[in-house]
Chain A
Amino acid sequence: MLPISVAMNNGHQPTEAVIGILAIQGDFALHAKMLERLGARWRLVKHTADLNGISALIIPGGESTTMLNVLADEHMDAAIREFAARGKPIFGTCAGAILLAKEVLNPAQQRLGLMDITIERNAYGRQVDSAVRQGECPSIADHPLEMVFIRAPIIRRVGKRVRVLGWAEGLPVLVEQDHLLAATFHPELTDDQTIHRYFLRKCGL
Protein backbone atom coordinates (compact mmCIF):
# COMPACT_ATOMS: atom_id res chain seq x y z
CA MET A 1 0.00 0.00 0.00
CA LEU A 2 1.04 3.64 0.02
CA PRO A 3 3.93 4.65 2.22
CA ILE A 4 1.85 6.29 4.97
CA SER A 5 2.39 3.38 7.29
CA VAL A 6 6.09 3.03 6.59
CA ALA A 7 6.69 6.71 6.48
CA MET A 8 8.56 7.37 9.70
CA ASN A 9 11.85 8.10 8.06
CA ASN A 10 13.76 9.05 11.18
CA GLY A 11 16.51 11.15 9.73
CA HIS A 12 19.33 9.82 11.83
CA GLN A 13 22.20 11.98 10.71
CA PRO A 14 21.69 15.22 12.63
CA THR A 15 24.17 17.01 10.42
CA GLU A 16 21.98 16.67 7.38
CA ALA A 17 18.92 18.89 6.94
CA VAL A 18 15.58 17.13 7.37
CA ILE A 19 12.37 18.53 5.90
CA GLY A 20 9.31 18.00 8.09
CA ILE A 21 5.95 17.32 6.46
CA LEU A 22 2.86 18.13 8.52
CA ALA A 23 0.91 14.85 8.53
CA ILE A 24 -2.32 15.58 10.37
CA GLN A 25 -4.41 14.95 7.29
CA GLY A 26 -4.17 15.37 3.51
CA ASP A 27 -1.73 14.46 0.75
CA PHE A 28 1.43 14.50 2.87
CA ALA A 29 2.55 11.15 1.41
CA LEU A 30 2.77 12.73 -2.06
CA HIS A 31 5.09 15.45 -0.76
CA ALA A 32 7.21 12.74 0.84
CA LYS A 33 7.39 10.92 -2.48
CA MET A 34 8.49 14.11 -4.22
CA LEU A 35 11.24 14.78 -1.64
CA GLU A 36 12.30 11.16 -1.94
CA ARG A 37 12.72 11.58 -5.69
CA LEU A 38 14.77 14.73 -5.10
CA GLY A 39 16.98 12.90 -2.64
CA ALA A 40 16.04 15.08 0.35
CA ARG A 41 15.64 13.72 3.87
CA TRP A 42 12.17 14.10 5.35
CA ARG A 43 10.10 13.22 8.36
CA LEU A 44 6.39 13.28 9.13
CA VAL A 45 5.30 15.82 11.74
CA LYS A 46 2.30 14.84 13.85
CA HIS A 47 3.19 16.31 17.23
CA THR A 48 4.70 19.54 18.47
CA ALA A 49 7.82 17.67 19.55
CA ASP A 50 8.33 16.48 15.96
CA LEU A 51 9.26 20.05 15.03
CA ASN A 52 12.50 19.67 16.92
CA GLY A 53 15.39 18.82 14.69
CA ILE A 54 13.79 19.66 11.37
CA SER A 55 15.08 22.52 9.30
CA ALA A 56 11.98 23.31 7.23
CA LEU A 57 8.30 22.39 7.08
CA ILE A 58 5.83 21.53 4.32
CA ILE A 59 2.12 21.99 5.02
CA PRO A 60 0.32 19.80 2.47
CA GLY A 61 -3.05 19.94 0.75
CA GLY A 62 -6.08 18.60 2.59
CA GLU A 63 -8.84 20.24 4.57
CA SER A 64 -7.68 23.36 6.40
CA THR A 65 -10.49 23.11 8.97
CA THR A 66 -9.45 19.56 9.88
CA MET A 67 -5.80 20.56 10.23
CA LEU A 68 -6.64 23.61 12.35
CA ASN A 69 -8.69 21.45 14.66
CA VAL A 70 -5.95 18.98 15.41
CA LEU A 71 -3.26 21.71 15.48
CA ALA A 72 -5.16 23.57 18.19
CA ASP A 73 -5.50 20.41 20.29
CA GLU A 74 -1.79 20.27 20.92
CA HIS A 75 -1.02 23.99 20.71
CA MET A 76 0.93 23.08 17.64
CA ASP A 77 -0.23 26.27 15.90
CA ALA A 78 1.79 28.34 18.36
CA ALA A 79 4.76 26.03 17.91
CA ILE A 80 4.67 26.45 14.13
CA ARG A 81 4.50 30.24 14.51
CA GLU A 82 7.57 30.09 16.70
CA PHE A 83 9.25 27.78 14.18
CA ALA A 84 8.62 30.41 11.48
CA ALA A 85 9.83 33.21 13.74
CA ARG A 86 13.19 31.44 13.93
CA GLY A 87 13.45 31.95 10.16
CA LYS A 88 12.83 28.32 9.22
CA PRO A 89 11.39 27.89 5.70
CA ILE A 90 7.75 26.79 5.37
CA PHE A 91 6.03 25.74 2.14
CA GLY A 92 2.24 25.44 2.05
CA THR A 93 0.20 23.98 -0.82
CA CYS A 94 -3.54 24.70 -1.14
CA ALA A 95 -4.82 24.09 2.42
CA GLY A 96 -1.25 24.78 3.52
CA ALA A 97 -1.37 28.18 1.79
CA ILE A 98 -4.66 28.92 3.56
CA LEU A 99 -3.06 28.11 6.91
CA LEU A 100 -0.12 30.43 6.17
CA ALA A 101 -2.29 33.42 5.18
CA LYS A 102 -2.82 36.43 7.39
CA GLU A 103 -6.44 36.78 6.30
CA VAL A 104 -8.88 34.07 5.16
CA LEU A 105 -12.22 34.69 3.45
CA ASN A 106 -15.23 32.45 2.71
CA PRO A 107 -15.52 32.08 5.60
CA ALA A 108 -13.14 33.97 7.86
CA GLN A 109 -11.38 31.35 9.96
CA GLN A 110 -8.44 30.83 12.29
CA ARG A 111 -5.05 30.54 10.62
CA LEU A 112 -1.37 30.67 11.39
CA GLY A 113 -1.30 34.19 9.95
CA LEU A 114 2.33 34.20 8.89
CA MET A 115 2.18 35.54 5.36
CA ASP A 116 0.80 38.92 4.38
CA ILE A 117 -1.80 37.70 1.90
CA THR A 118 -5.60 37.50 1.80
CA ILE A 119 -6.84 34.20 0.51
CA GLU A 120 -10.37 33.12 -0.39
CA ARG A 121 -11.25 29.45 0.17
CA ASN A 122 -12.93 27.34 -2.54
CA ALA A 123 -12.80 30.44 -4.72
CA TYR A 124 -13.01 28.67 -8.10
CA GLY A 125 -16.12 26.76 -6.92
CA ARG A 126 -16.77 23.15 -6.00
CA GLN A 127 -15.09 19.94 -7.23
CA VAL A 128 -16.74 20.20 -10.68
CA ASP A 129 -14.78 23.44 -11.07
CA SER A 130 -11.45 21.84 -10.20
CA ALA A 131 -9.11 21.98 -13.19
CA VAL A 132 -5.63 21.54 -14.56
CA ARG A 133 -4.42 24.95 -15.70
CA GLN A 134 -1.28 26.12 -17.47
CA GLY A 135 0.77 28.52 -15.41
CA GLU A 136 4.00 30.49 -15.56
CA CYS A 137 6.73 30.94 -12.95
CA PRO A 138 9.17 33.01 -15.02
CA SER A 139 11.79 33.52 -12.32
CA ILE A 140 12.15 29.81 -11.50
CA ALA A 141 10.99 27.85 -14.55
CA ASP A 142 11.68 28.39 -18.25
CA HIS A 143 8.73 26.20 -19.22
CA PRO A 144 4.97 26.52 -18.62
CA LEU A 145 3.89 24.46 -15.63
CA GLU A 146 1.01 22.03 -15.39
CA MET A 147 -0.86 23.22 -12.30
CA VAL A 148 -3.53 21.09 -10.63
CA PHE A 149 -6.17 23.09 -8.78
CA ILE A 150 -8.54 21.12 -6.52
CA ARG A 151 -11.28 23.09 -4.80
CA ALA A 152 -8.55 25.66 -4.76
CA PRO A 153 -8.34 29.02 -3.03
CA ILE A 154 -7.52 32.30 -4.77
CA ILE A 155 -5.06 34.85 -3.43
CA ARG A 156 -7.01 38.12 -3.40
CA ARG A 157 -4.39 40.46 -1.95
CA VAL A 158 -0.63 40.36 -1.58
CA GLY A 159 1.19 42.57 0.91
CA LYS A 160 4.20 44.76 0.12
CA ARG A 161 6.74 42.20 1.31
CA VAL A 162 5.21 39.42 -0.77
CA ARG A 163 6.65 38.53 -4.16
CA VAL A 164 4.46 36.82 -6.75
CA LEU A 165 6.45 34.03 -8.42
CA GLY A 166 3.73 32.30 -10.40
CA TRP A 167 0.56 33.13 -12.29
CA ALA A 168 -2.24 31.15 -13.91
CA GLU A 169 -5.05 32.78 -15.83
CA GLY A 170 -3.94 36.18 -14.61
CA LEU A 171 -4.11 35.26 -10.91
CA PRO A 172 -1.20 34.88 -8.50
CA VAL A 173 -0.80 31.18 -7.63
CA LEU A 174 2.72 30.97 -6.17
CA VAL A 175 3.89 33.61 -3.70
CA GLU A 176 6.89 34.13 -1.47
CA GLN A 177 7.60 36.20 1.60
CA ASP A 178 11.16 35.81 2.80
CA HIS A 179 11.45 32.20 3.98
CA LEU A 180 7.75 31.39 3.36
CA LEU A 181 6.39 29.93 0.13
CA ALA A 182 2.73 29.28 -0.73
CA ALA A 183 1.07 27.68 -3.75
CA THR A 184 -2.68 27.50 -4.37
CA PHE A 185 -2.12 24.48 -6.67
CA HIS A 186 -0.62 21.06 -6.04
CA PRO A 187 2.88 20.58 -7.50
CA GLU A 188 2.99 17.28 -5.54
CA LEU A 189 0.24 15.88 -7.79
CA THR A 190 2.38 16.17 -10.93
CA ASP A 191 5.76 14.82 -12.00
CA ASP A 192 7.20 18.32 -12.36
CA GLN A 193 9.78 18.85 -9.61
CA THR A 194 10.44 22.55 -10.27
CA ILE A 195 8.56 23.99 -7.29
CA HIS A 196 9.90 21.51 -4.73
CA ARG A 197 13.40 21.96 -6.11
CA TYR A 198 12.98 25.71 -5.60
CA PHE A 199 11.82 25.18 -2.01
CA LEU A 200 14.80 22.95 -1.31
CA ARG A 201 17.06 25.73 -2.58
CA LYS A 202 15.36 28.09 -0.11
CA CYS A 203 16.28 25.55 2.55
CA GLY A 204 19.90 25.70 1.46
CA LEU A 205 19.77 22.23 -0.09
Chain B
Amino acid sequence: MWQYDEQMKLKVGLAEMLKGGVIMDVTTAEQARIAEGAGAAAVMALERVPADIRKEGGVARMASVKVIKEIMSAVTIPVMAKARIGHFAEAQVLEALGVDYIDESEVLTPADEEHHIDKWPFKVPFVCGARNLGEALRRIGEGAAMIRTKGEAGSGNIVEAVRHLRAITGEIRQLTTLRDDELMAKAKELGAPFELVKWVAKNGRLPVPNFSAGGIATPADASLVMQLGAEAVFVGSGIFKSADPEKRAKAIVRATTHYNEPQVIAECSEDLGEPMRGIDVAKLKPEELLQTRGW
Protein backbone atom coordinates (compact mmCIF):
# COMPACT_ATOMS: atom_id res chain seq x y z
CA MET B 1 0.00 0.00 0.00
CA TRP B 2 1.19 3.51 -0.78
CA GLN B 3 2.61 5.25 2.25
CA TYR B 4 3.72 8.78 2.89
CA ASP B 5 6.38 7.55 5.28
CA GLU B 6 9.53 9.33 6.36
CA GLN B 7 11.49 8.26 3.28
CA MET B 8 8.70 9.32 0.93
CA LYS B 9 8.48 12.65 2.76
CA LEU B 10 12.16 13.31 1.98
CA LYS B 11 11.79 12.17 -1.63
CA VAL B 12 8.69 14.25 -2.30
CA GLY B 13 10.30 17.04 -0.27
CA LEU B 14 13.07 17.50 -2.81
CA ALA B 15 10.49 17.56 -5.62
CA GLU B 16 8.66 20.31 -3.69
CA MET B 17 11.87 22.35 -3.68
CA LEU B 18 12.12 22.09 -7.47
CA LYS B 19 8.63 23.43 -8.11
CA GLY B 20 8.34 26.48 -10.27
CA GLY B 21 11.79 25.69 -11.64
CA VAL B 22 13.42 24.35 -14.78
CA ILE B 23 15.37 21.10 -14.94
CA MET B 24 17.78 21.10 -17.88
CA ASP B 25 19.36 18.26 -19.81
CA VAL B 26 23.16 18.56 -19.95
CA THR B 27 25.83 16.31 -21.43
CA THR B 28 29.01 18.01 -20.16
CA ALA B 29 30.27 19.84 -17.08
CA GLU B 30 30.47 23.02 -19.16
CA GLN B 31 26.79 22.79 -20.12
CA ALA B 32 25.92 22.09 -16.47
CA ARG B 33 27.68 25.31 -15.43
CA ILE B 34 25.81 27.27 -18.09
CA ALA B 35 22.52 25.77 -16.90
CA GLU B 36 23.24 26.62 -13.27
CA GLY B 37 24.32 30.13 -14.20
CA ALA B 38 21.08 30.62 -16.10
CA GLY B 39 19.04 29.67 -13.04
CA ALA B 40 18.25 25.97 -13.56
CA ALA B 41 16.75 24.39 -10.43
CA ALA B 42 18.49 21.10 -11.30
CA VAL B 43 20.30 19.44 -14.17
CA MET B 44 19.79 16.05 -15.81
CA ALA B 45 23.08 14.38 -16.68
CA LEU B 46 22.99 12.29 -19.82
CA GLU B 47 25.24 11.13 -22.61
CA ARG B 48 23.23 12.46 -25.55
CA VAL B 49 20.21 14.75 -25.57
CA PRO B 50 17.02 13.08 -26.85
CA ALA B 51 17.24 14.81 -30.26
CA ASP B 52 20.62 13.17 -30.86
CA ILE B 53 19.46 9.79 -29.53
CA ARG B 54 16.65 10.00 -32.06
CA LYS B 55 19.00 10.93 -34.90
CA GLU B 56 21.88 8.58 -34.14
CA GLY B 57 19.92 5.53 -33.00
CA GLY B 58 21.63 2.60 -31.28
CA VAL B 59 21.09 1.56 -27.68
CA ALA B 60 20.75 4.54 -25.33
CA ARG B 61 22.05 3.73 -21.85
CA MET B 62 22.76 5.42 -18.53
CA ALA B 63 25.39 8.17 -18.98
CA SER B 64 29.00 7.25 -18.34
CA VAL B 65 30.12 7.39 -14.73
CA LYS B 66 32.85 9.84 -15.70
CA VAL B 67 30.41 12.33 -17.22
CA ILE B 68 28.04 12.07 -14.25
CA LYS B 69 30.85 12.63 -11.76
CA GLU B 70 32.17 15.62 -13.70
CA ILE B 71 28.73 17.17 -13.77
CA MET B 72 28.19 16.49 -10.07
CA SER B 73 31.39 18.27 -9.17
CA ALA B 74 30.73 21.17 -11.55
CA VAL B 75 27.48 22.41 -9.95
CA THR B 76 25.86 22.82 -6.54
CA ILE B 77 22.25 22.37 -7.67
CA PRO B 78 20.70 18.87 -7.62
CA VAL B 79 21.94 16.48 -10.31
CA MET B 80 19.57 13.94 -11.80
CA ALA B 81 20.50 11.08 -14.11
CA LYS B 82 18.56 8.65 -16.26
CA ALA B 83 18.37 4.88 -15.90
CA ARG B 84 16.75 2.58 -18.45
CA ILE B 85 13.23 1.36 -17.69
CA GLY B 86 13.52 -1.76 -15.53
CA HIS B 87 17.31 -1.51 -15.25
CA PHE B 88 17.58 -1.55 -11.47
CA ALA B 89 21.32 -2.23 -11.64
CA GLU B 90 21.89 1.08 -13.46
CA ALA B 91 19.76 2.72 -10.77
CA GLN B 92 21.89 1.11 -8.06
CA VAL B 93 25.00 2.53 -9.72
CA LEU B 94 23.43 5.99 -9.84
CA GLU B 95 22.54 5.73 -6.17
CA ALA B 96 26.08 4.66 -5.33
CA LEU B 97 27.36 7.74 -7.19
CA GLY B 98 25.09 9.91 -5.04
CA VAL B 99 22.93 11.50 -7.75
CA ASP B 100 20.02 13.40 -6.24
CA TYR B 101 17.17 12.03 -8.41
CA ILE B 102 16.90 9.10 -10.81
CA ASP B 103 14.77 9.40 -13.93
CA GLU B 104 13.57 5.96 -15.01
CA SER B 105 13.23 7.15 -18.54
CA GLU B 106 11.62 6.12 -21.79
CA VAL B 107 14.22 8.26 -23.57
CA LEU B 108 16.72 5.46 -22.99
CA THR B 109 16.30 2.01 -24.53
CA PRO B 110 14.18 -0.08 -22.13
CA ALA B 111 15.93 -2.93 -20.34
CA ASP B 112 12.71 -4.70 -19.38
CA GLU B 113 9.59 -4.73 -21.51
CA GLU B 114 7.29 -5.84 -18.71
CA HIS B 115 8.50 -4.49 -15.39
CA HIS B 116 9.62 -1.14 -14.09
CA ILE B 117 12.10 -0.75 -11.25
CA ASP B 118 10.79 -1.38 -7.73
CA LYS B 119 11.65 2.08 -6.46
CA TRP B 120 10.73 1.66 -2.79
CA PRO B 121 14.03 0.12 -1.58
CA PHE B 122 16.06 3.06 -2.92
CA LYS B 123 17.05 6.04 -0.80
CA VAL B 124 17.37 8.18 -3.91
CA PRO B 125 14.02 9.44 -5.18
CA PHE B 126 12.73 8.54 -8.66
CA VAL B 127 10.87 10.50 -11.29
CA CYS B 128 8.97 8.57 -13.97
CA GLY B 129 7.19 9.55 -17.15
CA ALA B 130 3.45 9.08 -17.70
CA ARG B 131 0.95 9.73 -20.47
CA ASN B 132 -2.22 9.20 -18.50
CA LEU B 133 -3.49 8.76 -14.96
CA GLY B 134 -3.27 4.98 -14.94
CA GLU B 135 0.38 5.05 -15.93
CA ALA B 136 1.14 7.79 -13.37
CA LEU B 137 -0.49 5.82 -10.55
CA ARG B 138 1.28 2.60 -11.51
CA ARG B 139 4.61 4.42 -11.26
CA ILE B 140 3.63 6.01 -7.94
CA GLY B 141 2.58 2.57 -6.71
CA GLU B 142 6.09 1.37 -7.56
CA GLY B 143 7.52 4.17 -5.45
CA ALA B 144 8.07 7.13 -7.81
CA ALA B 145 8.21 10.44 -5.87
CA MET B 146 7.61 12.65 -8.90
CA ILE B 147 5.74 12.23 -12.15
CA ARG B 148 6.56 14.05 -15.35
CA THR B 149 4.25 13.92 -18.30
CA LYS B 150 6.23 12.34 -21.12
CA GLY B 151 5.50 14.48 -24.13
CA GLU B 152 7.64 13.36 -27.07
CA ALA B 153 11.28 13.82 -26.09
CA GLY B 154 13.66 15.27 -28.66
CA SER B 155 10.84 16.48 -30.88
CA GLY B 156 10.88 20.18 -30.04
CA ASN B 157 7.11 19.86 -30.42
CA ILE B 158 4.85 20.64 -27.49
CA VAL B 159 1.77 18.82 -28.78
CA GLU B 160 2.36 15.55 -26.92
CA ALA B 161 3.23 17.26 -23.62
CA VAL B 162 -0.08 19.10 -23.85
CA ARG B 163 -1.95 15.91 -24.68
CA HIS B 164 -0.50 14.08 -21.67
CA LEU B 165 -1.03 16.93 -19.23
CA ARG B 166 -4.63 17.37 -20.32
CA ALA B 167 -5.17 13.61 -20.08
CA ILE B 168 -3.88 13.41 -16.51
CA THR B 169 -5.54 16.54 -15.16
CA GLY B 170 -8.80 15.68 -16.96
CA GLU B 171 -8.82 12.13 -15.62
CA ILE B 172 -8.16 13.44 -12.10
CA ARG B 173 -11.09 15.84 -12.38
CA GLN B 174 -13.32 13.07 -13.59
CA LEU B 175 -12.27 10.80 -10.75
CA THR B 176 -13.40 13.35 -8.16
CA THR B 177 -16.95 13.17 -9.52
CA LEU B 178 -17.36 9.43 -9.01
CA ARG B 179 -19.25 7.72 -6.20
CA ASP B 180 -17.21 5.55 -3.81
CA ASP B 181 -18.82 2.39 -5.18
CA GLU B 182 -17.63 3.29 -8.68
CA LEU B 183 -13.94 3.53 -7.82
CA MET B 184 -13.03 -0.15 -8.02
CA ALA B 185 -14.32 -0.48 -11.57
CA LYS B 186 -12.42 2.72 -12.41
CA ALA B 187 -9.24 1.31 -10.87
CA LYS B 188 -9.67 -1.76 -13.04
CA GLU B 189 -10.15 0.37 -16.13
CA LEU B 190 -7.12 2.57 -15.35
CA GLY B 191 -4.98 -0.41 -14.42
CA ALA B 192 -4.03 1.49 -11.28
CA PRO B 193 -3.73 0.53 -7.59
CA PHE B 194 -7.14 0.88 -5.89
CA GLU B 195 -5.72 2.68 -2.83
CA LEU B 196 -4.18 5.36 -5.03
CA VAL B 197 -7.35 5.75 -7.09
CA LYS B 198 -9.24 6.36 -3.83
CA TRP B 199 -6.59 8.86 -2.71
CA VAL B 200 -6.79 10.85 -5.93
CA ALA B 201 -10.61 10.79 -5.95
CA LYS B 202 -10.59 12.25 -2.45
CA ASN B 203 -7.81 14.83 -2.88
CA GLY B 204 -8.22 15.86 -6.50
CA ARG B 205 -4.51 15.69 -7.29
CA LEU B 206 -1.65 13.21 -7.54
CA PRO B 207 -0.01 12.32 -4.22
CA VAL B 208 3.37 13.46 -5.66
CA PRO B 209 4.30 16.54 -7.73
CA ASN B 210 3.56 16.51 -11.45
CA PHE B 211 6.09 18.16 -13.76
CA SER B 212 6.05 18.44 -17.55
CA ALA B 213 8.60 17.21 -20.11
CA GLY B 214 9.06 16.36 -23.75
CA GLY B 215 8.99 19.07 -26.41
CA ILE B 216 9.41 22.33 -24.48
CA ALA B 217 11.49 24.66 -26.68
CA THR B 218 10.34 28.24 -26.02
CA PRO B 219 9.34 30.47 -23.07
CA ALA B 220 5.74 30.32 -24.30
CA ASP B 221 5.89 26.50 -24.26
CA ALA B 222 6.91 26.63 -20.60
CA SER B 223 4.10 29.08 -19.87
CA LEU B 224 1.60 26.83 -21.64
CA VAL B 225 2.37 23.68 -19.66
CA MET B 226 2.51 25.62 -16.37
CA GLN B 227 -0.90 27.14 -17.09
CA LEU B 228 -2.20 23.64 -17.84
CA GLY B 229 -1.20 22.55 -14.34
CA ALA B 230 2.44 21.42 -14.53
CA GLU B 231 4.35 22.33 -11.36
CA ALA B 232 7.79 22.64 -13.00
CA VAL B 233 9.33 21.89 -16.39
CA PHE B 234 12.03 19.66 -17.81
CA VAL B 235 13.77 21.00 -20.89
CA GLY B 236 15.78 18.46 -22.84
CA SER B 237 17.07 19.19 -26.29
CA GLY B 238 15.29 22.57 -26.36
CA ILE B 239 18.16 24.49 -24.78
CA PHE B 240 21.45 23.09 -26.02
CA LYS B 241 20.06 22.41 -29.51
CA SER B 242 19.11 26.07 -29.92
CA ALA B 243 21.23 28.87 -31.37
CA ASP B 244 21.94 30.64 -28.04
CA PRO B 245 21.58 28.14 -25.16
CA GLU B 246 22.53 30.53 -22.36
CA LYS B 247 20.03 33.17 -23.35
CA ARG B 248 17.26 30.66 -24.03
CA ALA B 249 17.90 28.89 -20.71
CA LYS B 250 17.60 32.15 -18.79
CA ALA B 251 14.45 33.09 -20.70
CA ILE B 252 12.75 29.76 -19.99
CA VAL B 253 13.62 30.05 -16.28
CA ARG B 254 12.04 33.50 -16.12
CA ALA B 255 9.03 32.37 -18.14
CA THR B 256 8.43 29.48 -15.72
CA THR B 257 8.39 31.81 -12.70
CA HIS B 258 6.09 34.31 -14.42
CA TYR B 259 4.12 31.76 -16.43
CA ASN B 260 0.82 33.57 -16.06
CA GLU B 261 2.11 37.04 -17.04
CA PRO B 262 2.00 37.39 -20.85
CA GLN B 263 3.91 40.68 -20.71
CA VAL B 264 6.91 38.96 -19.13
CA ILE B 265 6.70 36.01 -21.53
CA ALA B 266 6.74 38.50 -24.41
CA GLU B 267 9.80 40.25 -22.98
CA CYS B 268 11.79 37.10 -22.49
CA SER B 269 10.82 35.68 -25.89
CA GLU B 270 12.48 38.57 -27.68
CA ASP B 271 15.70 38.12 -29.61
CA LEU B 272 16.48 34.56 -28.51
CA GLY B 273 17.89 33.35 -31.81
CA GLU B 274 16.68 30.19 -33.54
CA PRO B 275 14.91 27.58 -31.39
CA MET B 276 15.65 23.92 -32.06
CA ARG B 277 14.26 22.88 -35.42
CA GLY B 278 11.72 20.33 -34.18
CA ILE B 279 9.74 17.62 -35.93
CA ASP B 280 6.13 16.87 -36.71
CA VAL B 281 5.25 14.08 -34.28
CA ALA B 282 2.38 12.93 -36.52
CA LYS B 283 4.93 12.03 -39.20
CA LEU B 284 6.90 9.73 -36.88
CA LYS B 285 6.43 6.00 -37.36
CA PRO B 286 4.98 4.21 -34.30
CA GLU B 287 8.35 2.56 -33.62
CA GLU B 288 10.03 5.96 -33.60
CA LEU B 289 7.90 7.21 -30.70
CA LEU B 290 9.65 7.28 -27.32
CA GLN B 291 6.47 7.92 -25.32
CA THR B 292 5.02 4.46 -25.92
CA ARG B 293 7.86 2.89 -23.92
CA GLY B 294 6.66 2.13 -20.38
CA TRP B 295 4.00 -0.29 -19.24
Binding site for B on A (CB under 8 A): 1-2, 4-5, 23-30, 46, 61-63, 65-66, 69-70, 73, 94-95, 106-107, 121-122, 125-128, 130-132, 148, 150-151, 186, 189
Binding site for A on B (CB under 8 A): 6, 9-10, 13-14, 16-21, 36-42, 76-78, 95, 98-101, 123-125, 169, 172, 204-205, 209-210, 226-227, 229, 231, 250, 253-254, 256-258, 260-261
Cross-chain pairs A/B with CB under 8 angstroms, 20 sampled? A23-B257, A25-B257, A27-B16, A62-B19, A62-B20, A63-B18, A69-B37, A69-B250, A69-B253, A94-B17, A106-B76, A107-B76, A128-B95, A128-B98, A130-B13, A130-B14, A148-B10, A148-B13, A150-B10, A189-B13
The CA-CA distance from A117 to B125 in the complex, in Å, is 31
- Contact yes or no, B78 A70, CB < 8 A: no
> Across the interface, which residues of A come within 8 angstroms of B41, CB to CB?
25, 62-63, 66
- Contact yes or no, A63 B20, CB < 8 A: no
Name B13's closest neighbour in chain A (CB-CB).
A150
Name B125's closest neighbour in chain A (CB-CB).
A127
> Across the interface, which residues of B come within 8 angstroms of A62, CB to CB?
17-21, 41
- Contact yes or no, A131 B76, CB < 8 A: no
Q: Which residue, B39, B42, B231, B261, has most C-beta atoms of chain A within 10 A?
A: B39
Are A69 and B9 also in contact (CB < 8 A) when A2-B231, A4-B20, A130-B14 are? no
Name B256's closest neighbour in chain A (CB-CB).
A25
- Contact yes or no, B39 A127, CB < 8 A: no
Q: How far is the CB of A57 from chain B (nearest CB, A)?
A: 17
- Contact yes or no, B14 A127, CB < 8 A: yes
Q: Which residue, B13, B209, B250, has most C-beta atoms of chain A within 10 A?
A: B13
- Contact yes or no, A65 B36, CB < 8 A: yes
Name A186's closest neighbour in chain B (CB-CB).
B13
> Across the interface, which residues of B come within 8 angstroms of A5, CB to CB?
226-227, 229, 260
The CA-CA distance from A125 to B169 in the complex, in Å, is 36
Q: A5-B227, A62-B20, A127-B98 are in contact. List 9 more A-B contacts (CB 8 A).
A: A2-B231, A5-B229, A62-B17, A65-B36, A127-B78, A132-B6, A132-B9, A150-B13, A150-B17
The CA-CA distance from A73 to B9 in the complex, in Å, is 33
The CA-CA distance from A30 to B36 in the complex, in Å, is 25
- Contact yes or no, B98 A126, CB < 8 A: yes
Q: Which residue, A73, A107, A127, has most C-beta atoms of chain B within 10 A?
A: A127
Are A24 and B17 also in contact (CB < 8 A) when A4-B231, A62-B41, A106-B76 are? no
Partner of A25, one of B13, B19, B229, B260: B19
Q: How far is the CB of A176 from chain B (nearest CB, A)?
A: 23
- Contact yes or no, B40 A66, CB < 8 A: yes
The CA-CA distance from A150 to B38 in the complex, in Å, is 23
- Contact yes or no, A69 B38, CB < 8 A: yes
Name the 5 nearest CB pairs between A and B, nearest first: A69-B39, A127-B100, A27-B16, A25-B20, A1-B229
Q: How far is the CB of B35 from chain A (nearest CB, A)?
A: 10
Name A130's closest neighbour in chain B (CB-CB).
B10
Name A125's closest neighbour in chain B (CB-CB).
B98
Q: How far is the CB of B256 from chain A (nearest CB, A)?
A: 8
> Across the interface, which residues of A come within 8 angstroms of B172, CB to CB?
1
Name A109's closest neighbour in chain B (CB-CB).
B76
The CA-CA distance from A132 to B8 in the complex, in Å, is 11
- Contact yes or no, A27 B257, CB < 8 A: no
The CA-CA distance from A199 to B190 in the complex, in Å, is 45
Are A27 and B253 also in contact (CB < 8 A) when A69-B38, A127-B100, A150-B10 are? no
Partner of B100, one of A24, A126, A148: A126
The CA-CA distance from A106 to B75 in the complex, in Å, is 11
Q: How far is the CB of B228 from chain A (nearest CB, A)?
A: 9
Name A23's closest neighbour in chain B (CB-CB).
B20
> Across the interface, which residues of A come within 8 angstroms of B169, CB to CB?
1
The CA-CA distance from A24 to B256 in the complex, in Å, is 9
> Across the interface, which residues of A come within 8 angstroms of B9, CB to CB?
132, 148, 189
The CA-CA distance from A61 to B14 in the complex, in Å, is 10
- Contact yes or no, A28 B78, CB < 8 A: no
- Contact yes or no, A46 B257, CB < 8 A: yes
